[in-house]
Amino acid sequence: MNSEKLWTRNFISISASTLFLFLTFYCLLVILPLYALEDLHGQATDAGLVVTVFLLAAILIRPIAGQWLGRIEKRSLLLLSLCLFLIADLFYFFMHSIGSLLVLRFMHGISFGIVTTVCGTIVADLIPSSRKGEGMGYYAMAMNLAMVIGPFVGLTTFYRWGATTSFIISSIFALFALILGSSLRLPKEQQTVATKTQAAFHIKQLFEVSAVRISVTAAFFSFVYASILSFVSVYAKEIGLAKAASYFFVVYAVVMLLSRPFTGKLFDKRGANVIIYPAIIFFAIGMLLLSMAHTTFLFLLSAACIGLGWGTLFPCFQTIAVQNAAPQRRGVATATFLSIFDSGVGLGSFVIGLAAVHIHLSFLYLYCSLLVLIGVGVYYTLNRDHAAASTRSKQYGNENPSGQHNQAV
* Cβ atoms 391, 268 nearer than 8 A: no
Query: What span, in angstroms and rounded, lies between the C-alpha atoms of 185 and 214?
Result: 31
Q: What is the pTM of this model?
A: 0.70
Phi, psi of 76 (to 5 degrees): -65, -45
Gap between the Cα atoms of 207 and 150, Å rounded: 31
Q: Please tell me the distance from the alpha carbon of residue 398 to that of residue 209, in angstroms, as a whole number.
A: 22
Coil, helix or strand for 213?
helix
The pLDDT of residue 302: 94
- pLDDT (0 to 100) of residue 46: 76
d(C-alpha 156, C-alpha 190), whole Å: 41
Integer CA distances (angstroms), 93 to 88, 96, 97, 108, 169, in order: 10, 8, 12, 14, 12
Residue 203 to residues 63, 199, 206, 327, Cα–Cα distance (Å): 10, 12, 6, 20
Which residues, 6+ apart, have CB-to-CB distance to 199 below 8 Å? none
H, E, C per residue of 16-31: HHHHHHHHHHHHHHHH
Residue 342 exposure: Cα atoms within 13 Å on the Cβ side: 25
The C-alpha atoms of residue 171 and residue 283 are separated, in whole angstroms, by 32
For residue 335, the SS3 value is helix
Helices 98-126/74-90 angle, 10° precision: 160
The runs of H, that is alpha helices, within 162-241 are: 163-182, 212-238
Q: Which helix (H) or strand (E) holds 116?
A: helix 98-126
CB 245 within 8 A of CB 361: no
pLDDT value for 205: 62
Helix axes 44-68, 74-90, angle to 10 degrees: 160
Mean pLDDT split into 10-residue runs, the chain, 409 residues: 70 91 89 82 75 83 78 85 94 87 92 89 78 74 79 84 90 94 74 47 64 89 84 82 80 82 73 86 95 91 92 84 72 78 80 80 90 92 64 43 32
- For the chain, what is the radius of gyration of the CA atoms? 20
Longest dimension (CA), the chain: 62
Q: Are 356 and 231 in contact (CB under 8 A)?
A: yes
CATH classification number, 9-186+205-406, choose in 1.20.1250.20, 1.10.3720.10, 3.20.20.140, 3.40.50.360: 1.20.1250.20
Query: At a CB cut-off of 8 Å and minimum separation 6, what does 7 contact?
Result: none
Contact criterion met (CB below 8 Å) for 364 and 286: no
Output the pLDDT for position 400.
40
